[in-house]
Structure 1
Amino acid sequence: MANAASGMAVNDDCKLKFLELKAKRTYRFIVFKIDEKVKQVTVEKLGEPALSYDDFAGSLPADECRYAIYDYDFVTEENCQKSKIFFIAWSPDTSRVRSKMLYASSKDRFKRELDGIQVELQATDPTEMGLDVFKSRAN
């Protein structure tokens, strides 16, 4: 089912990998990319559970848009171990205007396909999605 606004479909693998992250914690993060040739959102990279936030941040291209899911673990003030699933719309200032528009117009529909996102972040540079931002948005 293609998105009327942008014509982008969502590859079934996107939903499958997201469910694995959510239910089984198989991955720390997932990076998604819009493949303009086949007009759909596909899985670009899967981060193993042992990988760190820095590995995640390093997997996002400096000058291209992406969607990403990050499973953020933290300890609450009551000393409880918790995690939140973050959706990141990565749209660096240096990416092509057409690419930014395509990702922006496809985002809401793509997000609806992934049931269980708890926090959404928009980021145009790494500081807008630093660990401090995750920490403040998680609580």
Structure 2
Amino acid sequence: MANSASGMAVNDECKLMFLDLKTKRNYRFIIFKIDERIQQVTVEKLGQPEETYDDFTASLPADECRYAVFDFDFVTDENCQKSKIFFISWAPDTSRVRSKMLYASSKDRFKRELDGIQVELQATDPSEMSIDIVKARAL
């Protein structure tokens, strides 16, 4: 097996879809999965612009690790419409230890491939990435 920290390839589709989310706002969120068979990070799901944060959290598997980006729209105290791109590392307690280690060791390299991430969250259960936490981190 290739060294997880350096041997994990990133599928070009990941970068292209992220660019679409960042520049064209074609997607609300993207969920990425490590395909252990081919040692590569791939796109698992694309969230449409009208989908909500609840749709996003419902798309994360309850017992498997994932990476995700979410384009969060909010209004500042000064009444300005803004958006921030969140990178979320999802590693539920119920996921396999090997999977958690693989996602943890590959995260920084994968994140570097996605230029434009503004906020990072790590979550092991849904309460750690509640909408209130996201709002607080966005401001």
User: Scaled by the length of structure 1, what TM-score is found?
Assistant: 0.97
Show the counterpart of 1:114: 114
Show the counterpart of 1:86: 86
SS at match of 1:79: coil
Show the counterpart of 1:23: 23
CA distance in structure 1 between the partners assigned to 2:134 and 2:4 by the alignment? 32
Q: Give, as a single letter, the amino acid of the residue that structure 1 aligns with 2:94.
A: T
Show the counterpart of 1:133: 133
Q: Give, as a single letter, the amino acid of the residue that structure 2 aligns with 1:73.
A: D
| Shift in Å, 1:4 | 5.9
The one-character-per-residue Cα deviations of 1:77-133 (angstroms, maximum 9, x if unpaired) are: 000000000000000000000000000000000000000000000000001111001
Percent identity (aligned): 79
| Shift in Å, 1:5 | 1.9
Show the counterpart of 1:44: 44
CA distance in structure 2 between the partners assigned to 1:44 and 1:4 by the alignment? 20
Q: Is the 8 A contact 1:89 1:123 kept in 2?
A: yes
Q: Is the 8 A contact 2:4 2:106 kept in 1?
A: no
CA distance in structure 1 between the partners assigned to 2:121 and 2:3 by the alignment? 22
SS at match of 2:93: coil
CA distance in structure 2 between the partners assigned to 1:82 and 1:3 by the alignment? 39
The one-character-per-residue Cα deviations of 1:24-81 (angstroms, maximum 9, x if unpaired) are: 0000000000000111000000000000111000000000000000000000000000
SS at match of 1:5: helix
**RMSD (CA atoms):** 1.2
Report how many aligned residue pairs link the two structures: 138
| Shift in Å, 1:7 | 2.1
CA distance in structure 2 between the partners assigned to 1:13 and 1:60 by the alignment? 19
CA distance in structure 2 between the partners assigned to 1:85 and 1:37 by the alignment? 29
**What runs of 5+ residues in structure 2 fail to find an aligned partner?**
none
User: Scaled by the length of structure 2, what TM-score is found?
Assistant: 0.97
CA distance in structure 1 between the partners assigned to 2:4 and 2:98 by the alignment? 17
Q: Give, as a single letter, the amino acid of the residue that structure 2 aligns with 1:43.
A: V
Show the counterpart of 2:11: 11
Q: Give the 3 Å change call, closer, same or farther, for CA 4–103 of structure 1 in structure 2.
A: closer
**What runs of 5+ residues in structure 1 fail to find an aligned partner?**
none
